[in-house]
A and B are shown apart, each in its own frame.
Chain A
Amino acid sequence: MSEKVLMKGNEAIAEAAISCGCRHYFGYPITPQTEIAAYMAKRMPKIGGTFLQAESEIAAINMVIGAASAGVRVMTSSSSPGVSLKSEGISYMAGCDLPALIVNVQRGGPGLGGIQPSQSDYFQATRGGGHGDYHLLVLAPASVQEMAAMTVRAFDLADKYRMPCMLLADGTMGQMMEPVELGESTGGTVDKPWALTGTGMSRKHNIINSLSLTPDELERWNVDRYARYAKVERDEVLYEEYLCDDAEIVVVGFGIAARVAKNAVNAARAEGIKAGMFRPITLWPFPKKAMFERAKTARAFISVELSMGQMIEDIELAVRCTRPVTLCSRVGGMIPSPAEVKKSIEDAHAKLDGRN
């Protein structure tokens, strides 16, 4: 399939997953991501795959653990409250070094919250979400095309680094329709000698496990895992810069917020304000090196978020507080308008006078 088709973001994720060899999906219905499950329910039986609606998000993620242990490409998807329920299993996956894709099409919280778009699971996604020292590799698409492309990338990275990857989208990205071009099948080529296939009476039994009651052994497992994370931080950072080279004000946003930010930057430029946009594509690893470099030329940063201000902390850490960082955000399912973002650019610009 290489012609352009019009698809919902959620459906693009599902079809992209199938295109790269994912034949196992376990999920539980929750708005605004249920189209992924519905799409899988239709497609999987026709291609010899498994779609299974679990009794809970908890069961679904544990089914993912089972299938990942068996060495196949597997995914689940949910939205914010459901991802909280999956967090126990995600911690186990990290502790067992199991590759899989977890999609979070975020909605407003906390608690049951709402069903409209949000980015308020940023902390949960980028800090791991469950117990223990671990990270997910977190990708944040900003178009339906990227929903598809990053699904494939997430599977590849999960296999490469033996870690769970998360696609962090939001209700807007999941529901909106855009033209998308789906690539050819790429995946499933990584050798998995650790997988549970049965010994065939020809090798020692494989054990997949996160338990060690020996402190120095458990410490070593953690240290080894973080050595792998260091490689991810070195090699897998992705970001986009738009009109940043001469920008005095840099607006930072991911996903849907970046699209609004881009419009606001254009509007500000039309009025002579040198604004640019910086879009982290990997949220973990956060593009902190590139942002630190950008802080050498930019004079102020604005974090545009659909949360009360979560990514702003990573921006402040990345620029090491060498530049002022302000927040432009809406929550509860609201999205900042281009006018609101432009106003925050103007405010930041007005405060520049007298500063170097």
Chain B
Amino acid sequence: MTTVFDRPHALTDVPMHYCPGCGHGIIHRLVAEAIDSLGIEGKTVGVASVGCSVFAYNYFNVDMVQAAHGRAPAVATGVKRARPENIVFTYQGDGDLAAIGTAETVHSAARGENITVIFVNNAIYGMTGGQMAPTSLPGQVTQTSPYGRDVSAVGYPVKVCEMLSQLDGPAYIERVAINSVKNIRAAGRAIKKAFRYQTEGKGFSLIEVVSTCPTNWGMTPAKAMKWAEENMIPYYPLGVYKDKYAGDAEKAR
């Protein structure tokens, strides 16, 4: 019998705590597949953040440290500087990365720190029960924007890829999504490339993954995917925002 589908080795065999239909399950799998396919599990160290993905330290089958809210890129910097031979990644949500951790995000990118950041943007605070995030869309109703996000009062969403791509430091910035099979496959390729860049010493990579939160959006998983496609992706266009080494493969040919 041939196995055609299996759990990636870089994921532990434990039940996840995520809500049914949550995007984290897919994204965890993509990260684990990238680690498997590059053969780097034994030397990878992950940094979990604060938010729904805090328990990522139980799910990735690699050495893990849990960072304070927003500080994962600084913790990752410390690990990487201490052990440059290790592959170091952070896994962060939008509140963690684009609100409380903005300084750590911007400066690790500006330093060109040789780490990989997986940024899950689902436009809401999940763990605390659905509050407005720095990436909540204009007009989006959340627990703390009950009349819809009023940009005249609380300002506009933070577009992380657009912002970071203006810096000289980062090597690779791409925004992907998980709303369709095609996009999931593209997301997997981007995540793998980000890890590969780190193994090649190319510097800072950030992959923003437009994801969903059916529970706090108050939608079925299928409807949430549709909502992401119709509302988030137009505001957060997918694509490569920066790739210092784009064309290197062609040049090598």
Chain A residues packing against B (C-beta within 8 Å): 24, 26, 50, 52, 54-56, 58-60, 62-72, 74, 88-89, 92, 96, 196-202, 205-211
Contacts and interface: CB of A to CB of B under 8 A. Distances in A.
A68 B78 contact: yes
Nearest to B71: A62
B15 to A, nearest CB: 15
A196 B41 contact: no
A209 B82 contact: no
Contacts of A206: 63-64
Contacts of A55: 103-104, 106-107
B62 A70 contact: no
A63 B63 contact: no
Contacts of A211: 54, 66
B109 to A, nearest CB: 11
Given A198-B44, A207-B57, A64 B64 contact: no
Nearest to A55: B107
B86 A208 contact: no
B79 interface: yes
Contact of A92 (B48, B68, B87, B103): B68
B81 A210 contact: no
B32 interface: no
A59 B57 contact: no
B165 interface: no
Contacts of A208: 64-66
B74 interface: yes
A198 B62 contact: yes
What 4 pairs between A and B have smallest CB-CB spacing?
A66-B78, A62-B74, A70-B82, A63-B78
- Residue with the greatest number of chain B CB neighbours at <10 A, chosen from A24, A56, A60, A62: A62
Nearest to A199: B42
B244 interface: no
B65 A209 contact: yes
Nearest to A54: B74
Q: Please report whether the interface of chain A is mostly helix, strand, loop or mixed according to DSSP.
A: mixed
Contacts of A200: 42-43
A131 B58 CA distance: 25
B61 interface: yes
B65 A26 contact: no
Contacts of B81: 24, 50, 52, 63, 66-67
B77 A198 contact: no
B54 A62 contact: no
A198 B78 contact: no
A74 B66 CA distance: 18
Contacts of B64: 196, 205-209
A72 B60 CA distance: 23
B66 A66 contact: no
Nearest to B41: A201
B75 interface: yes
A210 B67 CA distance: 9
Interface in B68-120: 68, 71, 74-83, 86-87, 103-104, 106-107
A84 B37 CA distance: 44
A80 to B, nearest CB: 21
- Residue with the greatest number of chain B CB neighbours at <10 A, chosen from A59, A67, A89, A96: A59
A89 B72 CA distance: 12
B34 interface: no
Contacts of B83: 70, 72, 196-198
Contacts of A71: 82
A200 B39 CA distance: 11
Given A55-B103, A55-B104, A66-B80, A199 B54 contact: no
Nearest to B80: A66
Given A202-B42, A205-B60, A62 B82 contact: no
Contact of A67 (B41, B58, B63, B78): B78
B45 interface: yes
A199 B63 contact: yes
A59 B71 contact: yes
B61 A205 contact: yes
Given A54-B74, A70-B45, A74-B78, A65 B104 contact: no
Contacts of B74: 54, 58-60, 62-63, 65-66
Nearest to A66: B78
A69 B42 contact: no
7 contacts: A50-B82, A66-B75, A66-B82, A67-B81, A196-B83, A206-B63, A209-B66
B142 to A, nearest CB: 24
B107 A199 contact: no
A88 B66 CA distance: 14
B43 A198 contact: yes
Nearest to A200: B42
Interface in B5-53: 12, 41-45, 47-48
B107 A65 contact: no
A135 B64 CA distance: 25
Contacts of B48: 209
Contact of A63 (B41, B45, B75, B103): B75
Contacts of B86: 70, 196-198
A66 B65 contact: yes
Contacts of A56: 103
Given A26-B78, A69-B75, A196-B64, 15 more contacts: A50-B81, A54-B107, A55-B107, A65-B75, A66-B79, A67-B79, A70-B78, A74-B78, A199-B61, A201-B42, A202-B42, A206-B63, A207-B57, A208-B65, A211-B54
